[in-house]
Amino acid sequence: MEEHVARAAQIDRALKAGGRFRMGPLELTDFIGQDINYQVSRQIWQDMQYDPRYTPGHLQRSLVDAGLLGKKNGRSYFAAEETAPPVTAANNADVETLRVYGEHPFFTLLQQRAALQWPQLRVEQRPALPGLGAAVRINDAFTVSITDGRTASQLAEQTAADAFVVDVALNYADTTYLVAAHSRHASAANKALFLRLLHTAIPQVEFIKDSPALIVARVLSSLINESVIMVESGVCSREDIDVAAVAGVNYAGGIFDWLGKLGEKNVRTTLSNLAQLLHAARYAPHYTLLHAAQPALTTTP
């Protein structure tokens, strides 16, 4: 929210739909109490020797100072936000050609649903493009990619066409809400056709700011990275992390289960791009995610 990437309602809804969270994170902080949330965040930061990964956000302190503590005093910064009307496709253009580069479960689903909507659809399957990865090109007009931490505008420069990125979901087949972003100069016609295509598979799709890793990919990758750091630091085991995630904070699945579903390579790439584009210390992937041979330690003779 501090980066104005999306509204509170969009953040919560995206994580409940795509990440299967029982409560949205902002909804949860209101339930806990913003004063408690800020104090715990600050205490962790202090106890971790002011590691920049744990620096509390400015918004957390601002909410406490303003007395917007959430459920405990009936004053919520997030609850006051108006929900924007659903975004709908405004034209009736058809998808004529769908060229699929590489493989991804969402593109398989999109191909199946689009074929039902447009029986004359021509589908071409090709290898993933170097430097771009799995993507779909629509009518030779624009490309659609799953976010890997790069922005749509970055991908547009690479493909010389309008580009769209969609957020991660643990199971696209039963996801009812998804956020996406488009490159800076995407045409109105392409935005409308993109929404029409996505609506064949996802009931509601909303555009948010074109930002690294959007919402679900950013949050899940960060939680996975933090969990790997804890395991590799000897704090606990992978099994401990997953039990705490399910039984402690009521996640629908364990964090290392997310890692298996998203793929280690995808998580690593997302974190690396986040570190490069946003905050190196906060998002740098743990070295065990890098799968690179570590140099031998130099010892003094």
pLDDT score, position 290: 73
CA distances in angstroms from 187 to 94, 163, 192, listed in the order given: 16, 10, 9
Among 123, 138, 120, 245, which residue's Cα sits nearest to residue 182? 138
Distance CA 164, CA 181 (A): 6
Q: At 296, is the pLDDT very low, low, confident or very high (cuts 50, 70, 90)? A: very low
Q: What is the pLDDT of residues 100-120, one digit of tens each?
A: 999 999 999 999 999 999 999
pLDDT of residue 288: 87
In the prediction, which pLDDT does 281 show?
87
pLDDT surpasses 90 at 300? no
- Residue 93, pLDDT > 70, answer yes
Stated length of the chain: 301
Count helices and strands (H / E) in the chain: 13, 7
Give the mean pLDDT of the chain: 90
Question: pLDDT class for 87, splitting at 50, 70, 90?
Answer: low
Across residues 50-70, what is the average pLDDT?
Answer: 90
Could you tell me if 296 and 274 are in contact, meaning their C-beta atoms sit under 8 angstroms apart?
no
Confidence band of 88 (pLDDT split at 50, 70, 90): low
**Phi, psi for residue 161 in degrees, rounded to 5:** -155, 165
**Per-residue pLDDT for 28 more than 80?**
yes
How far is C-alpha 114 from the geometric centre of its chain's CA atoms? 24
Please choose, from the candidates 151, 152, 20, 284, the residue with its C-alpha nearest in 3D space to the C-alpha of residue 143. 152
Is the predicted pLDDT of residue 131 greater than 90, yes or no? Answer: no
Instruction: Choose from 71-75, 216-220, 248-252 the range with maximum mean pLDDT.
Output: 216-220
Cβ atoms of residues 77 and 64 within 8 Å: no
Identify whether the C-beta of residue 283 lies closer than 8 Å to the C-beta of residue 276.
no
pLDDT band at 94 (very low <50, low <70, confident <90, very high): very high
Mean pLDDT of 152-180: 96
Whether 134 has a pLDDT exceeding 50, the answer reads yes
Is the pLDDT at 17 greater than 90? The verdict is: yes
The pLDDT assigned to 85 comes to 54
Please state, in angstroms and rounded to a whole number, the distance separating the CA atoms of residues 33 and 38.
9
> Which tops the pLDDT comparison, 208 or 299?
208
| Chain CA centroid to CA 36, Å | 26
Query: Helices 255-262 & 216-232, crossing angle to 10 degrees?
Result: 120
Alpha carbon distance 232, 245 (integer Å):
17
- Reply yes or no on whether the pLDDT at 90 is more than 70: no
pLDDT at 250: 87
Amino acid at 192: A
